[in-house]
Amino acid sequence: MSILEAIVQGVVQGLTEFLPVSSSGHLLLSQHVLGVHENNLFFNIMLHMGTLIAVLAVYYKKVIELIKSCFSIIKKIFTLKFDIKKTSDNEQLVISLIIGLIPLFLLFVPVPTTGMTVKEIAESMSNEKNIIIVGICLIFTSFLLRKGQKVQYSETFSKIKYDEKNHSEICQGRSKVLFLDALWIGIMQFIAAIFPGISRSGSTLSVGLVRGVSRQSALDYSFIIGIPTILAAGLLETKEAIEQNLLQNIDITPMIIGVLVSAIVGFLAIKIFKWLLKTNKMMIFVIYTFVLGLISVIIGILELCSGRNIFTGFSI
């Protein structure tokens, strides 16, 4: 992999990990266009670690508070003083995050008659040679985003205020993510982990909005729950790469550059997403994911008919 290819994929990862357009889908599409094949999975995970740096840079204060609350919960449990009805806001958020992560363990459940786990099947679907699945999932992401956008102005949100400064309506919702909200968001995150092209941030945000959570709380929860998700995935794939001796064939320089680029661009993407959500400009993502998904499906069908990648000329 060249340095230019690493930079391109770092930019793609940094932008798409937090903007609701699917980082996995865009990475597969960029690899399809560039014709990059080798060690994609581990390189993708390392790019995710770059975006982990970005989200920690934005939410480090909140993360520190949650770590303290986690130890507080553990202490209360061992001293028999834990009462879920008397927990602080941060302690409730810690519990909600744990609940939201539980569905991800389904990735390791064996699928009958296949001899594979859900995770292994998901990885087999992450094939840049066939972009039809990515296209369909991007279109699904578009519908999810539209549903989340529409529900903001429905009766789910009982109060609407007007922001005089930005001349826009502010849709109100619950500031807290309830345990049932967290479970539904977790299920959606599990689905996004299976299908490349379904945006994790976009789908979890939309589910939060449908459940009646305010935009800011749903967005913050979506970003924060991504921290342990990205970290766990990175550690797991690194372990597998070491066991399979894949690290010996990796060019370190492009990988480091890709990680740095994804971290910087990811930090900017979080700021952009917050601004777009606050100013009610999410429709741009609804249109973008639908159009890109439709184009991907059409190109994928044409390539299946011709048997060649139209960008590189390689056989598929």
Q: What is the pLDDT of residue 285?
A: 95
Q: What are phi and psi of 87, to 5 degrees?
A: -75, 155
Q: Does some domain include residue 238?
A: yes
Contact between 248 and 123 (Cβ < 8 Å): no
- Please state the length of the chain: 316
Q: Does some domain include residue 313?
A: no
Q: What is the pLDDT of residue 249?
A: 66
d(CA 202, CA 185): 11
Q: Does some domain include residue 311?
A: no
Q: Does some domain include residue 315?
A: no
Give the domain range for residue 8: 3-306
Q: What is the pLDDT of residue 32?
A: 87
- Give the side-chain half-sphere CA count within 13 A for 186: 21
Q: What is the pLDDT of residue 63?
A: 95
User: Whose structure tokens read 């939201």?
Assistant: 100
Q: What are phi and psi of 102, to 5 degrees?
A: -55, -45
Angle ∠(113,114,117) on CA atoms, nearest 5: 120
Q: Does some domain include residue 56?
A: yes
Sign of the dihedral defined by the CA atoms of residues 292, 49, 92, 216, in that order: negative
Number of domains in the chain: 1
Tens place of pLDDT per residue across the chain (316 aa)? 788 888 988 998 899 888 999 988 887 888 888 877 655 567 777 888 899 999 999 999 999 999 999 999 999 999 999 998 889 999 999 999 999 999 999 999 998 888 899 988 877 766 656 799 999 999 999 999 999 888 766 654 544 454 555 544 455 678 899 999 999 999 999 999 889 899 999 999 999 999 989 888 999 999 999 899 888 877 887 777 777 776 666 778 888 999 999 999 999 999 999 998 888 888 999 999 999 999 999 999 999 999 899 988 888 7
Q: Does some domain include residue 59?
A: yes
308 DSSP β-pair partners: 315
Q: What is the pLDDT of residue 160?
A: 47
Q: Which amino acid is at 147?
A: K
| Prediction pTM value | 0.86
**HEC assignment per residue over the chain:** CCHHHHHHHHHHHHHHHHCCCCHHHHHHHHHHHHCCCCCHHHHHHHHHHHHHHHHHHHHHHHHHHHHHHHHHHHHHHHCCCCCHHHCCHHHHHHHHHHHHHHHHHHHHCEECCCCEEHHHHHHHHCCCCCCHHHHHHHHHHHHHHHHHHHHCCCCCCCCEEEECCCCEEEECCECCCCHHHHHHHHHHHHHHHHCCCCCHHHHHHHHHHHCCECHHHHHHHHHHHHHHHHHHHHHHHHHHHHHCCHHHHCCHHHHHHHHHHHHHHHHHHHHHHHHHHHCCCCHHHHHHHHHHHHHHHHHHHHHHHHCECCCCCCEC
Q: Which amino acid is at 5?
A: E
Q: Does some domain include residue 261?
A: yes
Contact between 296 and 132 (Cβ < 8 Å): yes
Q: Does some domain include residue 134?
A: yes
- For 33-62, letters b (16+ CB in 10 Å) and e give bbebeebbebbbbbbbbbbbbbbeebbeee
What would the two tokens of residue 143 be?
A: 């519908």
